[in-house]
Amino acid sequence: MALVSMRELLDHAAVNGYGIPAFNVNNLEQVQAVMTAADEVGAPVILQASAGARKYAGEPFIKHLIQAATEMWPHIPLVMHQDHGQSPAICQGAIDLGFSSVMMDGSLMEDGKTPASFEYNVDVTRRVVDMAHQKGVSVEGELGCLGNLETGEAGEEDGIGAEGKLDHSQMLTDPEEAAQFVKATGLDALAIAIGTSHGAYKFSRKPTGDILAISRVKEIHARIPNTHLVMHGSSSVPQELLALINQYGGKMKETYGVPVEEIQEAIKFGVRKINIDTDIRLAMTAACRKFLFENPDKFDAREWLKPAREAAKQLCKQRYLEFGCEGQAPKIKGETLQVVAARYAKGELAQVVN
């Protein structure tokens, strides 16, 4: 099957009440880990590449790694999604490269650090929707800035995150604004801010409602019940992986992620795409540290990449099962992007916002 539209997968997830993890990938082993996990449980797949991933591997490698996955697993509906595009030009580049879905993250200005105005966000997102839908490519936008409600700080581990302190009104997506935003842009999926942030250091304690606002998901969903919601920064940061890393020479500080049961609750209220990168990083690092510690004489990279890939696969498989993806892949038609483009043109996929 050629690459499919993210909209088609999220529509299917909405009708059938499940959520799809979107895994960040940077290299061969991560692509193989996600695909094998999906194959074992019959899950549809969203592979996403950040700007950092494209810089690390090089765009041709990202493109061909994902295309190789469509050849090796032709029966799995697969979306190639660009994560956190900082400008319409970057999204255009990804569409030209063959991505079947893009994120225009207009919650921050092009520098990836300065919170943007609502008007700026609508303008850039609308422009990306116009060009993407003509090709049948899906668009995710973001309203509200990801950040830690305890400290007012955004994740500082990757290239994207607001600088300085944010207040709660910037870090919690407003339901009414969300409705205006969806109406004005016509996007396919909306990333919301509810207290999650990127990276391993999300919460200083197991999160409760004051720092992880699942109640806000419910309020947004009540206002825009037909829009697919996206949760970024949704790694669960399993304590056993932190313990393994530290047991074998790592030095990670105490930290907590987004509990799986909170994500499961959010899935009941319109969350259809759940972004996970950090958990794969933790799983691979733990496995790699353990293997090298136990086998100090080994030097063939394949020997330590194999357990790392296997650990990533187990993590992905667990999330597919926990989010309800099991057995869904064969039920998805896998329309071509041309067919999807025609459906956008006819207005069949227009957003319904009252």
Ligand X SMILES: O=C(CO)COP(=O)(O)O
Ligand Y SMILES: O=C[C@H](O)COP(=O)(O)O
Residue 202 contacts Zn ion per CB under 5 A: no
Q: Which of 30, 50, 101, 285 binds ligand Y (CB under 6 A)?
A: 50
For residue 227, state whether it binds ligand X (rule: CB under 6 A): no
288 contact, one of Zn ion, ligand Y, ligand X, none, CB 5-8 Å limit per kind: none
Among 63, 216, 221, 232, binds ligand X (CB under 6 A): 232
- Give CA separation, 204 vs 242, 252, 256, 257, in Å: 14, 13, 6, 9
Q: Residue for token digits 């069949």?
A: 348
Work out which of 63, 232, 273, 290 binds Zn ion, going by CB under 5 A: 232
Residue 123 vs 158, nearer CB to ligand X: 158
Q: Which does 142 bind (CB under 5 to 8 A by kind): ligand X, ligand Y, Zn ion, none?
A: Zn ion
- Residue 20, token pair as written in the block: 């799809």
Region 52-71 residues binding ligand Y, contact defined as CB under 6 A: 52-53
Would you count residue 159 as binding ligand Y (CB under 6 A)? yes
Question: Which residues inside 66-125 make contact with ligand Y, applying CB under 6 A?
Answer: 83-84
Active site residue 83: yes
* Minimum CB distance to ligand X, residue 108 (Å): 13
> In the block, which residue shows the tokens 């609750």?
265
Q: What are phi and psi of 172, to 5 degrees?
A: -125, 120
- Given candidates 13, 21, 24, 337, which one binds ligand X under the rule CB under 6 A? 24
List active site positions.
Answer: 83
Contact positions toward ligand Y, by CB under 6 A? Answer: 24, 50, 52-53, 83-84, 158-160, 198, 277
